[in-house]
Chains A and B, each alone.
Chain A
Amino acid sequence: AQKITQTQPGMFVQEKEAVTLDCTYDTSDQSYGLFWYKQPSSGEMIFLIYQGSYDEQNATEGRYSLNFQKARKSANLVISASQLGDSAMYFCAMREGRDNDMRFGAGTRLTVKP
């Protein structure tokens, strides 16, 4: 079964507007971590933001924020004031307490329009 689901294969956003990238996850662990990565066309994987399962506040890092809804098992990434350089693939990922590995979603390709 899929541990991480990203239902949006592609998204478009106008420059300077905000965009939300969806991510839902499946776990029975109480302790887990949620991550978002950005992958530009160069291929490198860039860490963006982290949310711990026990964190009560939504994580924020500059223009990135994570809308964490634990009961709904969702961890959506919000990018405010989109820039052309935000065009990339975005991956949601989870690490569970019992598991060594980080599980990745299929990714969402974001295109920022000028």
Chain B
Amino acid sequence: SQTIHQWPATLVQPVGSPLSLECTVEGTSNPNLYWYRQAAGRGLQLLFYSVGIGQISSEVPQNLSASRPQDRQFILSSKKLLLSDSGFYLCAWSRDRTDYGYTFGSGTRLTVV
């Protein structure tokens, strides 16, 4: 069966520090991968998605970037964090089909101080 791992679970980082969040999927190949951000008590904002190695689409221009160095690995990065980067980050995987839902990782709660 397929599983998705996301780490770390929580992170407190100072303003201006770099960021690297990692997400890996097991038990499947060539998944579509997604990064979402969720502000406290709010909905999900799609940040990036990837349909293959090295292929990244950005939904919202911002202080973050994403990379997919391997088929089942998706990394969210920042060179210098801002206070506004605080939030709950969720990774997800899926297939390119309308009848296929998203499977989410357990999330990373990022606080920038």
Contacts and interface: CB of A to CB of B under 8 A. Distances in A.
Contacts of B97: 95
A97 B102 CA distance: 15
Given A43-B109, A104-B44, A96 B98 contact: yes
Contacts of A97: 98
Interface string A2-18: 00000000000000000
B7 interface: no
B96 to A, nearest CB: 6
B107 A50 contact: no
Counting contact residues on chain A (CB < 8 A from B), the size range is 20 to 34
Contacts of B49: 100-101
A104 B106 CA distance: 18
Interface in B79-113: 88, 90, 92, 94, 96-104, 106-107, 109
A1 B12 CA distance: 35
Contacts of B46: 101
Contact of A100 (B32, B42, B101, B109): B32
A93 B96 CA distance: 15
A54 B70 CA distance: 36
A58 interface: no
B89 to A, nearest CB: 10
B43 A91 contact: yes
B53 interface: no
A61 interface: no
Interface stretch (A28-36, A62-70, A73-81): A28-36
Interface in A78-114: 91, 93, 95-97, 100-102, 104-107, 109
B51 interface: yes
A102 B102 contact: yes
Given A100-B57, A102-B94, 16 more contacts: A31-B98, A32-B98, A35-B101, A35-B102, A43-B90, A44-B106, A44-B107, A45-B102, A53-B98, A93-B102, A100-B32, A100-B96, A101-B59, A104-B44, A105-B43, A107-B43
Interface of A: 31-33, 35, 42-45, 47, 50, 52-53, 91, 93, 95-97, 100-102, 104-107, 109
